Structure 1
Amino acid sequence: MPDAADVWRTLVRPYVDARIESDPRQFFGEMAGTHLGDSMISRSTSAATMANRRHALDIRLGQMDHLLIQLLLAGSIRGQYGKRKVDVPPGSISLLDLGQTLDTRTDSLTTITLTVPRDRLPTSLRGRNLHGIVLPPEDGATQLLASHLQALMTHAPRLTHTAMAAHVNAALMMLCGGLSQPVPATADTQESVRDSMRRLAQRQIERHLDSDQISPEHIATAIGVSRAALYRLFERDGGVRAYIQARRLDRCFDELLLSTGSRIIIADLAYRHGFSSESVFSRAFRRRFEMSPGEVRTRAQRARASQHLDTNGTPDVTTVRAWLESIRGYPAATIQTG
């Protein structure tokens, strides 16, 4: 039977890899939450000092494209959210993007977290790097959102599905206010058009990603825009060529994750995906994922082996995995360890 600390680490594993640094025999943790349709509101308390990390491998394995809006009620969080240094005091609200890396230390914590899929965000926020933004506790907008999150946590189990959606929308509008992001209708409409064109281009890229004939000119012609307009659609990615390379690297990453043994030859993988040499591929791969192709293959094998731990049979672990990995359905649940 796993101890409380091991169960907790497994509970939060879809979010972070948590290493408990204080005496694990003294650990206590509690988590409660309610599904809100495609979102989730949860409250968690943990009595321990922990180091928390989220690697590129975790991101690819988890396939979770969500934003966490986290109110810190007690404790502290210090470290790096991606490239942003954070020092989160009680009463503040921090934003955590599950599509980015994390490396923090936390003392005993109590948090309320609203987990929202990225496509639920107002369009004015989708192009922003929100990871690691901290709303200060003294700001009125922060206090308003904090009050709403606490009330939502309390009353969510008794809300109708329609009311749940409305209160999630209200929280997102308050977040816009805290970030000083007005969302006028005209700008929102223009952004929606750009999002639609970008999705068209992305589908075209995915359809021809294995072809050595894919080019910005080909994509622009296929979706009926100029090269300049196409570049603007992918400007935040460094341009369409950079986006294509990133998607090819993602495919290589996924192939390595699914590989067994050492059957994939790295050089063959590089040439099949349009790289001129294994060294060029390896440098680009490390820049994107902060590890080499060989390291990904090795760590993926270890991750698969760890799935057979006894904690898989713990009912609480199964429940929380279902919460975090699917965010479907509407049951309320409470989990306690310790």
Structure 2
Amino acid sequence: MKTELLKDAESPGNLRDRFSTEHEAPHQQLLAWRQRIGYFLDVPISRADQARGFHGTIDAWRGGDLTFMDCRTDPVSQSRSAARISTDTVRQYAFHILVDGAIETRTGTHPKRVAMQSAPGIVALDMGQPMQMTRSGCRLQALFLPRTLLASVLPEPESIHGSVIEYRSPIARLIPAQLAELARNIPHMSTSESSEAMRACALLIGAAFGKEAGLTGNARAAVRAAAFAQARRYIDENLHESDLSPESVLRTSPLSRPTLYRLFENEGGLAAYIRNRRLSQAAEELRRYPHKAVIEIAYGLGFNSASDFNRAFRRAYEMSPLDFRQFSL
């Protein structure tokens, strides 16, 4: 059973790969699916799930540093946890394109961003950030691409993690035909042709997300994008400063309070973004410094007490700081 397709996504060459559970015994089918994608996603399995059997197929093609997949599955849940992210190197971006069925995707830490898809559309996922996905029986396509490609058309691409677009805006309405052409022709393409076709689709989808987020398209949007990036950099550079707050970010920004706050709406608000970045940094320090006291990490990142930190960390990562550290070792 092949499981190396995405791991080697930076190497040149076009790889075609087909996977199906149909040749497995029914009680082994969901286990086979988990084994196929388990190097970058977690698939919870109960005894009842296993007994029911599971039908799933993946047709995948790789061209250069991009990968295109066409998937059909029975209902299934998949997730990418912060603990998993801390132990692997999968950091591509993915556009999950719903063709038929329904998908619920949860992203972020607290509050969670919940995206419900029952109509054709696309959810953007950053493999460097946590997510949980619950599918009905559905067909979806997926386009995996490197951050550098997405960043060429979309400033701060991590900000669209969990966002959804449907085919309503003028630029988004161009996407279905291009995807259909890609799916129809990619089995017959050369390596260079498939790479070029996937790149064209990725750039079009990235531009559509940028337009939806108001981060591209004119001088005013460019100023907002630059100020958004500046605010995020300031926050990351001052996570260990006790006076880091929405007010201190506002003092360094050329934007008005309402405009700056609107840019962080998808993150749950500016205060939530600061808290979640501190929690993310705490998770990194728990992994990198196994002998550093948890309370030292908490105080160093602006938390007032061990109980406040433990409660916030558990709410964000669904495990205690000590359990997270143990998992990451």
TM-score class, shorter? 0.5 to 0.7
Alpha-carbon deviation of 1:251?
0.9
Look up the match of 2:199: 165
Q: Which runs of 5+ in 2 are unaligned?
A: 3-27, 108-112
The partner residue of 2:237 within 203, 207, 212 is 207
User: Over residues 22-77 of structure 1, what are the superposed CA-to-partner deviations in whole Å (9 max), with x where a residue is unaligned?
Assistant: 4699877554221354x43223456x66442333433555563623232447xx55
Aligned to 1:119: 151
Contact kept, 8 Å, 1:60 with 1:254, in 2: the verdict is: yes
Moved more, 117-126 or 146-155: 117-126
RMSD: 4.5
SS of structure 2 residue aligned to 1:112? strand
By relative contact order (CA 8 Å, sep 6+), the higher-ranking structure is 1
Determine the structure 2 residue equivalent to 1:55: 81
Matching residue's letter, 2:180: S
Instruction: Report how far residue 197 of structure 1 moved.
Output: 2.2
* Structure-1 residue corresponding to 2:20: none
Asked if the contact 1:253–1:293 (Cα under 8 Å) also holds between the matched residues in 2, the reply is yes
Instruction: Note the C-alpha offset of 1:283.
Output: 2.4
| Number of residues of Structure 1 aligned to a counterpart in Structure 2 | 285
C-alpha deviation, 1:140, in angstroms: 7.4
CA contact 2:115–2:163 (8 Å) conserved in 1: no
Q: Deviations over 1:81-105 (max 9, x none)?
A: 445364658xx34425243421425
| Residue 60 to residue 219, structure 1, CA distance change in 2 (3 Å) | same
Give the drift of 1:272.
1.9
Shift of 1:299: 3.1
Rounded to whole Å, the distance in 2 between the matches of 1:112 and 1:140 is 17
The structure in which a higher percent of residues are helix is: 1
CA distance, structure 2, for counterparts of residue 131 and residue 58 of structure 1 = 22
- Name structure 1 gaps, 5 residues minimum: 302-338
Question: % of aligned pairs identical?
Answer: 19
- Cα offset for 1:112? 2.8
CA distance in 2, matches of 1:253, 1:134: 34
- Partners of 1:230 and 1:167 in 2: how far apart? 31
Hey, what's the Cα distance between the residues in 1 that align with 2:134 and 2:243? 43
Q: What SS does structure 1 have at the residue aligned with 2:240? A: coil
Offset at residue 250 of structure 1 (A):
0.9
Report the counterpart of residue 9 of structure 2 in structure 1.
none
Distance 1:24 1:67 in 2: 29
Q: In structure 1, how many angstroms separate the alpha carbons of the residues matched to 2:115 and 2:181? A: 27
Secondary structure of the structure 2 residue equivalent to 1:203: helix
TM-score normalised per structure 2: 0.63
Alpha-carbon distance in structure 2 between the residues aligned to 1:210 and 1:184 = 29
Q: Which amino acid aligns with 2:257?
A: A
Calculate the TM-score normalised by the size of structure 1: 0.62
Q: Give SS of 1:113's match.
A: strand
